[in-house]
Amino acid sequence: MPSDISSETALTLSDLYMQFESALRRYAVGLTRDPYRADDLVQETFIRAMGHLALLSGLQVPQRRAWFYRTLRNLFLDQERARQRQEVFVAQLIQQTEAMHNHLPLHIISEVLDIIPEHYRELLERRYLLGMTSQEIADELDIPAGTVRSRFRLIYKWLRKHRSEFI
């Protein structure tokens, strides 16, 4: 194990890297379960350390170790929060896209209604011709709104499978 760095000598990033890199990499791999992402976290941690060499020079080895672990963990948490925000954004984008599909042009709707099986036609007419929501359709047919949405997923699946018939 490398010897402790004396506070009398000037602390360099190279010294810190030799002292903490392998332990930080193991910690990062444990957090991320991804060696490439772990390498990025370790690298970013040492980039942050470059800006804090004066602070790190004044700390004892256990305090330095704590600074490195805390900095790496905070970087990891920041990345996780950003990933979660991105997932929410993508989910909202998908939801908006699906909502736009509820406003199909009338000529496409009439072509689809001519081809689609009878048991799907009733739902499509209510949604696209009458502009009813899933809840309104459910209330009228006396079935749960979730069932209506599930049937629309089946309709969309059928449409994707048979799209060549009406395109």
Tokens 């804090």 correspond to: 52
Q: For the chain, give every domain's residue range.
A: 13-90, 102-165
- pLDDT score, position 8: 46
pLDDT score recorded for residue 123: 84
How far is the C-alpha of 36 from the C-alpha of 28, rounded, in Å?
Answer: 10
Note whether 152 and 123 are within 8 A (CB).
Answer: yes
Class of domain 102-165: mainly alpha
Residue-wise pLDDT tens digits, 106-141: 566 666 667 777 877 888 778 877 778 888 888 888
Separation of alpha carbons 146 and 11, rounded Å: 64
Residue with the bigger pLDDT between 101 and 41: it is 41
Alpha-helix runs per DSSP H in the chain: 13-32, 35-50, 53-57, 61-101, 106-115, 118-124, 134-141, 145-161
Question: If you average pLDDT over each of 19-28, 127-136, 143-152, 153-162, which comes out highest?
Answer: 19-28
Token representation of residue 39: 């390498």
CATH fold group of domain 13-90: Rna Polymerase Sigma Factor; Chain: A (1.10.1740)
**Prediction pTM value:** 0.53
Nearest to 129 by CA among 146, 155, 105, 149: 105
Q: What is the pLDDT of residues 49-108, one digit of tens each?
A: 999 999 999 999 999 999 999 999 999 999 988 888 777 755 665 565 556 555 555 566
The whole-number pLDDT of residue 120 equals 79
Q: Quick one: CA dihedral 132, 136, 141, 146, positive or negative? A: positive
Same fold, 13-90 and 102-165: no
